[in-house]
């Protein structure tokens, strides 16, 4: 357990993934919070003692109905489920049927497909569910009966609040819970019902992503069908990997990982399109203008068109990000870079020494550095330094990518190609 948690932290560091707080549900602070909330819900009469008779998947740690199974097996794990008969504490989930339906009919779950799956199941009727199990060695003890352990999902879901409780509770409710499709039910039905019972506000959105396959097959450690991200990062630049995953797979669909696709995206888009434009502008300025941005002349129609695109691009890309369509966001960035390349090509500054194409091209490069920062952060930083710009991209702000903020007379550093061909 400790070793796995450490690996996840290392993985985040290696892939430049930042987080405010890394919680483990073994923390004392978390356990105390869960016990406190359990007690509160119990005292409201929303938890009662009863006998559970039915099926249980030990890997999901979830009670299953016959209708959930495929050939008598857990659809998620493909293992036989167990028959159980034991004393449990139950949560009155059935009482929340109407409220959950109302919630789901709004745009609580993204995408629609996942919303309908859950809606259909809720419409068939919610039953009360067991939320404790007797005689387990591992887990948080129920405060009302020490022989019972709180159901792991009830325990786990409350981590979203225990992590910020009490000193940062102002951040609740969450704007988004980003989850995989296998745990949608817990987040979209059980979690809101528990929150309503405990008197907390509900998160604003549940965004459900797809699964990753490898070479057309399900990821399975036992079948040896998996990718070790640490090995992948030894073979390829972290930014190329990040770019590939964000660019290649629509977030709501299942994706199929193939290494040749990673190389292809890297070569055709990062290197031949975005990197090519950036390097052309910078190296031409460096060699022909001593690295100094020239004074522009009156802008002609082509120049105006590029300025118009620069003005628009952060909004276009931002809308895709807001809608969790990250692949489309990168598509928009690529289209912008294609357009920039065409502009530069048409201007032929190597023949004309046209100052406008250098001045505007440099500003388009600056916009690209800002737009790419969430996707390829270390390359964006590198580019920022090559542009010899002060401060950080974060401080500069997303919307400033729409402006021309590199001025005549500004001197850039020696450029280097940003991305390597694979
Ligand atoms: Zn299972």
Distance 19 CA to ligand 1 centre (A): 29
pLDDT at 1 over 80: no
Q: How much is the average pLDDT of 171-200? A: 97
179 and 34 in one domain?
yes
The reported pLDDT for the residue numbered 304 is: 98
Distance 346 CA to ligand 1 centre (A): 59
184 and 37 in one domain?
yes
245 and 341 in one domain?
yes
The reported pLDDT for the residue numbered 209 is: 97
Distance 62 CA to ligand 1 centre (A): 7
The reported pLDDT for the residue numbered 340 is: 98
- CATH number of the structural domain spanning residue 373: 1.10.730.10
201 and 142 in one domain?
yes
Please write the tens of the pLDDT for every residue from 333-351: 999 999 999 999 999 999 9
Distance 28 CA to ligand 1 centre (A): 28
Please write the tens of the pLDDT for every residue from 292-337: 999 999 999 999 999 999 999 999 999 999 999 999 999 999 999 9
Whether 1 maps to a domain, the answer reads: no
Whether 164 maps to a domain, the answer reads: yes
Whether 19 maps to a domain, the answer reads: no
Distance 76 CA to ligand 1 centre (A): 5
Q: How much is the average pLDDT of 206-220? A: 93
Whether 230 maps to a domain, the answer reads: no
Distance 412 CA to ligand 1 centre (A): 57
User: Domain end: 162, 193, 209, which one?
Assistant: 209
151 and 112 in one domain?
yes
Q: Partners of 411 in the beta sheet?
A: 292
Least confident range of 57-71, 99-113, 184-198: 57-71
Whole-angstrom Cα distance, residue 313 to residue 305? 12
301 and 249 in one domain?
yes
User: Domain end: 209, 229, 260, which one?
Assistant: 209
Whether 311 maps to a domain, the answer reads: yes
Whole-angstrom Cα distance, residue 378 to residue 144? 51
pLDDT at 363 over 90: yes
pLDDT at 245 over 90: yes
Whether 74 maps to a domain, the answer reads: yes
**Confidence band of 198 (pLDDT split at 50, 70, 90):** very high
Contacts of 397 (CB under 8 A, 6+ apart): none
Assess contact for 88 and 132: CB atoms under 8 A.
Answer: yes
Distance 220 CA to ligand 1 centre (A): 14
Assess contact for 339 and 286: CB atoms under 8 A.
Answer: no
Count the domains in the chain: 2
Q: How much is the average pLDDT of 83-94? A: 95
Distance 347 CA to ligand 1 centre (A): 60
- CATH number of the structural domain spanning residue 98: 3.40.50.620
Whole-angstrom Cα distance, residue 188 to residue 169? 21
The reported pLDDT for the residue numbered 413 is: 98
**Confidence band of 220 (pLDDT split at 50, 70, 90):** confident
Distances (CA, A) of 406 to 21, 80, 175, 390, 411: 36, 64, 35, 11, 10
Residue 388 is part of which domain span? Answer: 239-402
Distance 60 CA to ligand 1 centre (A): 4
pLDDT at 412 over 90: yes
pLDDT at 149 over 80: yes
Round the average pLDDT of the chain to a whole number and report it.
Answer: 96
305 and 260 in one domain?
yes
Distance 81 CA to ligand 1 centre (A): 8
Whether 7 maps to a domain, the answer reads: no
Distance 138 CA to ligand 1 centre (A): 19
Distance 78 CA to ligand 1 centre (A): 7
Cis check: omega of the bond before 285, within 30 degrees of 0: no
Least confident range of 90-99, 210-219, 264-273: 210-219
The reported pLDDT for the residue numbered 137 is: 84
Distance 58 CA to ligand 1 centre (A): 7
Distance 61 CA to ligand 1 centre (A): 7
The reported pLDDT for the residue numbered 221 is: 81
Q: Which helix (H) or strand (E) holds 320?
A: helix 301-322
Whether 416 maps to a domain, the answer reads: no
Q: Look at residues 377, 346, 371 and name the one whose alpha carbon lies nearest to residue 280.
A: 346
Distance 285 CA to ligand 1 centre (A): 59
173 and 47 in one domain?
yes
51 and 173 in one domain?
yes
Distance 110 CA to ligand 1 centre (A): 23
Distances (CA, A) of 243 to 15, 100, 217, 238, 415: 11, 37, 22, 8, 22
Distance 348 CA to ligand 1 centre (A): 61
195 and 148 in one domain?
yes
Distance 75 CA to ligand 1 centre (A): 7
Assess contact for 193 and 87: CB atoms under 8 A.
Answer: no
Whole-angstrom Cα distance, residue 244 to residue 413? 28
Please write the tens of the pLDDT for every residue from 89-119: 999 999 999 999 999 999 999 999 999 999 9
Please write the tens of the pLDDT for every residue from 121-138: 999 999 999 999 998 888
Distance 85 CA to ligand 1 centre (A): 18
Q: How much is the average pLDDT of 404-422? A: 97
Distance 122 CA to ligand 1 centre (A): 20
Distance 212 CA to ligand 1 centre (A): 18
Distance 182 CA to ligand 1 centre (A): 10
- Buried (b) or exposed (e) across 68-90, using 16+ Cβ within 10 A? beeeeebebeeeebeeeeeebbb
Q: How much is the average pLDDT of 168-193? A: 97
Distance 195 CA to ligand 1 centre (A): 25
Whole-angstrom Cα distance, residue 137 to residue 299? 74
184 and 72 in one domain?
yes
Of 391 and 282, more confident: 282
Distance 188 CA to ligand 1 centre (A): 18
Distance 59 CA to ligand 1 centre (A): 5
- The secondary structure of residue 269, as a DSSP letter, is I
Q: How much is the average pLDDT of 395-408? A: 97
268 CB-contact burial (10 Å; exposed 0-12 / middle 13-18 / buried 19+): exposed
203 and 243 in one domain?
no
The reported pLDDT for the residue numbered 157 is: 97
**Confidence band of 20 (pLDDT split at 50, 70, 90):** very high
pLDDT at 228 over 80: yes
């Amino acid at each position: 357990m400790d070793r796995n948690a450490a690996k996840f932290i290392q993985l985040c560091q290696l892939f430049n993934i930042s987080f405010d707080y890394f919680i483990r549900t073994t923390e004392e602070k978390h356990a105390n919070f869960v016990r406190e909330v359990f007690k509160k819900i119990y005292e409201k009469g929303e938890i009662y003692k009863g006998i559970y008779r039915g099926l249980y998947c030990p890997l999901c740690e979830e009670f299953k109905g016959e209708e959930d199974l495929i050939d008598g097996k857990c659809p998620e794990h493909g293992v036989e489920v167990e028959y159980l008969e034991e004393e449990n504490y139950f949560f009155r989930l059935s009482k929340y049927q109407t409220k959950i339906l109302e919630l789901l009919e709004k745009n609580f779950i993204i995408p629609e497909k996942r919303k309908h799956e859950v809606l259909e199941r809720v419409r068939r009727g919610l039953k009360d569910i067991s939320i404790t199990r007797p005689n387990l060695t591992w887990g948080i003890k129920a405060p009302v009966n020490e022989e019972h352990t709180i159901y792991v999902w009830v325990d786990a879901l409350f981590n979203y609040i225990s992590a910020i409780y009490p000193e940062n509770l102002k951040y609740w409710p969450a704007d988004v819970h980003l989850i995989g499709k296998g745990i949608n039910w817990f987040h979209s039905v059980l979690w809101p019902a528990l929150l309503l019972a405990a008197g907390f506000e509900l998160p604003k959105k549940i965004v459900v992503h797809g699964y990753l396959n490898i070479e057309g097959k399900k990821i399975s450690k036992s079948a040896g069908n998996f990718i070790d991200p640490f090995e992948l990062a030894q073979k390829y630049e972290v930014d190329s990997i990040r770019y590939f995953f964000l660019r290649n797979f629509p977030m709501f669909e299942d994706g199929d990982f193939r290494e040749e696709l990673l190389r292809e995206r890297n070569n055709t888009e990062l290197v031949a399109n975005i990197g090519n434009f950036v390097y052309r502008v910078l190296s031409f300025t460096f060699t022909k203008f001593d690295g100094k941005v020239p004074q522009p002349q009156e802008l002609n129609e082509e120049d105006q068109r590029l300025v118009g695109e620069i003005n628009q691009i952060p909004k276009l890309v931002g809308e895709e990000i807001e809608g969790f369509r990250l692949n489309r966001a990168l598509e928009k960035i690529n289209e912008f870079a294609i357009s920039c390349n065409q502009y530069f090509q048409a201007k032929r500054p190597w023949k004309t020494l046209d100052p406008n194409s250098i001045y505007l091209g440099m500003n388009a490069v600056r916009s690209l550095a800002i737009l790419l920062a969430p996707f390829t952060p270390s390359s964006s930083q590198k580019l920022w330094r090559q542009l010899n710009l002060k401060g950080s991209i974060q401080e500069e702000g997303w919307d400033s990518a729409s402006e021309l903020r590199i001025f005549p007379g500004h001197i850039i550093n020696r450029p280097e190609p940003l991305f390597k061909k694979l």
